Amino acid sequence: MKKIKWKKILVPISAVFMGFVLGAVVMIISGYNPIFGYQDLFNQVFGTARGFGEMVQTTGPLILEALAFSVAMKAGLFNIGMSGQALAGWFGSIWFALSFPDVPRVLLIPLMIVVGMFAGAIVGLIPGLLKAWLGTSEVIVTIMMNYVIVYLTTFLLYDVMSKSIISSTSKDQTMPIGVNANFKLGWLSSLSNNSTLNMGIFFALIALVVMAFVFKKSTFGYEIKAVGLNPDASEYAGISSKRIIIVSMLIAGALAGLGGVVYGANYQGVGNFVSQSASLDIGFNGMAVALLGELNPVGIFFSAILFSILQTGGPGLNFDSIPTEITSIVIASIIFFIAIKFVFEHLYSRKSKKEVA
């Protein structure tokens, strides 16, 4: 048992180490000093209160998107639709906030969260229903849904939204949300030297604790894992795999939608919606965070921090004229080495089945 636990810890650590090594090799080949490069990267994050605040703020949406992927993955579903689910949550929450600006803050922010989670849940529910009742591949449907939501939100922005809440300088974006919808907290801004850090990180941490409890202590968490491991055996034991598939995708969509709310309430430092030409990066980054964290809430927490450090620390590389794309290479390398683990596990599983047969 201890050996298995150590394996689960060592694989992600090894992947991170190899990612940083590969990033260093690329810097050396390109004529840059990797020691100075990584020093600048970490100084950007930990050298100032503002940099640290931006890192913490970036962590929130990553945690929520990773949780969304984990819920579905534990049920045996590969949810690639977090980008669309997050975009729906972002759009819905901003539209609601701009439509009802005079609602008191104590009510408006919770309502924004409910609307965003509901929008994300609906987008997650569609592939869940198709998978449960028609056996349609959730991978294909969620990929398609990402594009559907991109174009749907653009259409709603251009042709349905009231012109009074569209920006006067660009038809591609809304007005910023009002004071009552703002997620900023004065004491957080003061602590982080006026960074964009806001209450969104607390919503992410609450979701993390709740999902940790669901996975470890609840009957539903057990049912999710049972269906993910063997749907047929679960049905025999009285667990409806259709129900678990639908509810898992519903919860995944709601979490991703909340990630979109937290992301959008801080967008461009003012909180508005901007028409997107492609899927949001946070969905795919959340998937990587979940895989690196072994789908475990504790692992997801630390994995999200690592990805956030790389993303917010990237601009620091410019101090030594090192391209910020180096951080993308490190992230991609980490994902690659994590993926290798899943490939070997799949091959080993196939080999074991053949030997049993």
Mind listing the pLDDT tens digit for each residue in 203-216? 999 999 999 999 99
What pLDDT does residue 54 have? 94
Q: Is 102 exposed, middle or buried (0-12, 13-18, 19+ CB in 10 A)?
A: exposed
Is residue 256 over pLDDT 70?
yes
In the chain, the N- to C-terminal Cα span, in Å, equals 27
Mind listing the pLDDT tens digit for each residue in 131-144? 999 999 999 999 99
What pLDDT does residue 340 have? 79
Element (H, E) at 304: helix 297-313
Q: Which two tokens stand for residue 168?
A: 């006067």
pLDDT category, 1, cuts 50, 70, 90? Answer: very low
299 lies in some domain: yes
Lowest mean pLDDT among 201-215, 240-254, 340-354: 340-354
Query: Are 117 and 290 contacting, i.e. CB atoms less than 8 angstroms apart?
Result: no
The structural domain count of the chain equals 1
- For 27, 81, 289, 296, the CA distances from 19, given in Å and listed in that order, are 12, 26, 14, 21
Distance separating alpha carbons of residues 228 and 127, to the nearest angstrom: 16
Is residue 36 over pLDDT 60?
yes
Is residue 4 over pLDDT 70?
no
What pLDDT does residue 272 have? 81
For a pLDDT cut of 70, what percent of the chain falls above it? 93
209: containing domain: 2-347
What pLDDT does residue 168 have? 79
352 lies in some domain: no
Strand partners, 274: 173
Distance separating alpha carbons of residues 82 and 232, to the nearest angstrom: 27
Contacts of 172 (CB under 8 A, 6+ apart): 157, 274, 275
pLDDT category, 354, cuts 50, 70, 90? Answer: low
| Phi and psi angles of residue 330, each rounded to the nearest 5 degrees, phi first | -60, -45
Distance separating alpha carbons of residues 96 and 108, to the nearest angstrom: 9
Is residue 3 over pLDDT 70?
no
Q: Is 81 helix (H, G, I), strand (E, B) or coil?
A: coil
Is residue 284 over pLDDT 80?
yes
108 lies in some domain: yes
356 lies in some domain: no
Is residue 76 over pLDDT 60?
yes
| Phi and psi angles of residue 137, each rounded to the nearest 5 degrees, phi first | -60, 120
Query: Are 334 and 16 contacting, i.e. CB atoms less than 8 angstroms apart?
Result: yes
The CATH number linked to 176 is: 1.10.3470
Query: Are 175 and 36 contacting, i.e. CB atoms less than 8 angstroms apart?
Result: no
Q: Is 344 helix (H, G, I), strand (E, B) or coil?
A: helix
Is residue 353 over pLDDT 70?
no
Query: Are 20 and 163 contacting, i.e. CB atoms less than 8 angstroms apart?
Result: no
The larger pLDDT score, comparing residue 94 to residue 269, is at: 94
The larger pLDDT score, comparing residue 194 to residue 275, is at: 194
Residue found by looking up tokens 């004529």 in the block: 31
355 lies in some domain: no
Chain mean pLDDT for the chain: 89
Q: Is 222 exposed, middle or buried (0-12, 13-18, 19+ CB in 10 A)?
A: middle
The larger pLDDT score, comparing residue 171 to residue 45, is at: 45
pLDDT category, 121, cuts 50, 70, 90? Answer: very high
- For 44, 45, 167, 226, the CA distances from 243, given in Å and listed in that order, are 47, 44, 43, 13
Q: Is 347 exposed, middle or buried (0-12, 13-18, 19+ CB in 10 A)?
A: exposed
Q: Which two tokens stand for residue 241?
A: 């795999």
Q: What is the pTM of this model?
A: 0.92
Task: Average the pLDDT over 99-127 and give the result.
Answer: 96
| Region at 178 (left for phi over 0; alpha for psi -120 to 50; beta for the rest) | beta
Would you say how long the chain is, in residues? 357
354 lies in some domain: no
What pLDDT does residue 350 have? 58
DSSP 8-state assignment for residue 273: -
Query: Are 273 and 264 contacting, i.e. CB atoms less than 8 angstroms apart?
Result: yes
Task: Average the pLDDT over 156-166 and give the result.
Answer: 89
Distance separating alpha carbons of residues 272 and 347, to the nearest angstrom: 46
